[in-house]
Amino acid sequence: MIDLRLLREDPDRVRASQRARGEDVALVDELLSADERRRSSGVRFDELRAQQKQLGKQVAQAKGDDKTELLKKTKELSDAVKAANAEQDAAAEEAQALLLRIANLVNPEVPVGGEDDFAVLETVGSPRDFAAEGFEPKDHLELGALLGAIDTERAAKVSGSRFYYLTGVGALLELALVNAAIAQATAAGFTPMLTPALVKPRAMEGTGFLGQAAEDVYYLDKDDRYLVGTSEVTLAAYHMDEILDAAQLPLRYAGFSPCFRREAGSHGKDTRGIIRVHQFDKVEMFSFVAPEDAAAEHKRLLDWEKQWLTSLELPFQVIDVASGDLGLSASRKYDCEAWIPTQGKYRELTSTSNCDEFQARRLSVRMREEGKVRPLATLNGTLCAVPRTIVAILENHQQADGSVRVPEVLRPYLGGREVLEPIAR
């Protein structure tokens, strides 16, 4: 959540951020009003409690009619105290609910606009010219069938649309990707983590996934638990309600987990193949840092993502995501989009977000430095979202006979295999 002091001191900045996101600007004034009621009712409550204590001392010393009159005043004052306390609680509850609805402040360098208003920061590598090579590229689903690697038909029979089986070399390719990604992250100083897939409501709300993203979240009502759409949730909540010593920072974790997304708003989008699915595995980087180090850490996360995609020998571009496409928690987000030959365009493969103090305030994760306690900053970055990475590898490294060349970085995890060969029919 944002800092309430900043809201009081510079509400126009918060209004401008909400406007840039395309979010409700009126929430700012509603929150200011609720906060003022909370503070004024708190002052009123404290004054009445002081009067109540003073009156209690007078009652103890009074006698006769004076005592009777004071006891009458005590009853009236007790009712007033209860009313002020109830008013304070109601205003505090309203203020908190409104505060949770206001998004993080947009970084001033972020391009303003919607999904298509991003800025391309860098292009790495060049797409292959398949026409010059003399053949038409197959899409990942055709290649997956030739290799015996992907089965969406049986997955639809068993689980429904947007599910898939990885079989044979497809399963081995996932394991190779996960192991190679974890190896890179470990070499960079990240602690590998296997994280839960189910979380309590506070963890999901604290990371900002019960706001704009709520429609994509799976909820198990009998257990009051949510299925995570990313291990960002479990990694952010790992130090919930803790105070970390500044000397420990930065803390970096690389989480591997299954991810579940309803894809509620994607009707008709990417219905073929495994680009947009309900369940997938992912390796996620997560950092806890001092707020003043957050921007530099964000660039480091981006560099690690670029290192990963370069090692997979994929052509990609880096974009600065526009304000209206940031999500609730991010102040700035960079995406790395790999070229998908059969679609003739770049598609998101990795993403890294700087959330500043926003998630840490919601989850009460703080740092202690020189005896002072303050919120820290959290950042996240996808290293390997498995299905989309498999799509990019199959399509970009395919050969005319339907085989697929294995990037060198993955060969040690595939028994030295240099090529994935079509299976005999």
Domains of the chain: 4-101 (1.10.287.40), 119-420 (3.30.930.10)
Residue 388 annotated among the catalytic residues of the structure: yes
Percent of the chain with pLDDT over 70: 93
Given a cut of 60, whether residue 372 has pLDDT beyond it is: yes
Residue 97, helix vs strand vs coil? helix
Residue 351 annotated among the catalytic residues of the structure: yes
Averaged pLDDT, 250-265? 93
Residue 276 annotated among the catalytic residues of the structure: yes
Residue type, 316: F
Range with the poorest average pLDDT among 33-42, 76-85, 91-100, 169-178: 76-85
Given a cut of 70, whether residue 55 has pLDDT beyond it is: no
Q: What is the pLDDT of residue 82?
A: 80
Torsion of CA 141, 145, 149, 153, to 10 degrees: 70
Catalytic residue among 225, 361, 366, 388: 388
**Distance of alpha carbon 70 from alpha carbon 91, whole angstroms:** 31
Catalytic residue among 21, 38, 162, 261: 261
Q: What is the pLDDT of residue 56?
A: 63
**Distance of alpha carbon 298 from alpha carbon 351, whole angstroms:** 11
**Distance of alpha carbon 239 from alpha carbon 268, whole angstroms:** 39
Given a cut of 60, whether residue 62 has pLDDT beyond it is: no
Q: What is the pLDDT of residue 45?
A: 77
**Distance of alpha carbon 127 from alpha carbon 313, whole angstroms:** 11
Averaged pLDDT, 337-362? 97
Residue 133 annotated among the catalytic residues of the structure: no
Secondary-structure breakdown of the chain: helix, strand, coil percentages, each rounded to the nearest 5: 45, 20, 30
Residue 348 annotated among the catalytic residues of the structure: yes
Helices 169-187 and 140-147: angle between axes, nearest 10 degrees: 110
Contact yes or no for 338/310 (Cβ under 8 A): no
pTM for the complete prediction? Answer: 0.91
Range with the poorest average pLDDT among 15-19, 65-69, 151-155, 309-313: 65-69
Averaged pLDDT, 241-255? 97
Catalytic residue among 17, 231, 329, 351: 351
Q: What is the pLDDT of residue 35?
A: 87
Given a cut of 70, whether residue 86 has pLDDT beyond it is: yes
Q: What is the pLDDT of residue 394?
A: 98
Catalytic residue among 276, 347, 368, 374: 276
Pairing of strands 243-245, 366-369: parallel
Residue 330 structure tokens: 């991010």
Catalytic residue among 348, 364, 369, 374: 348
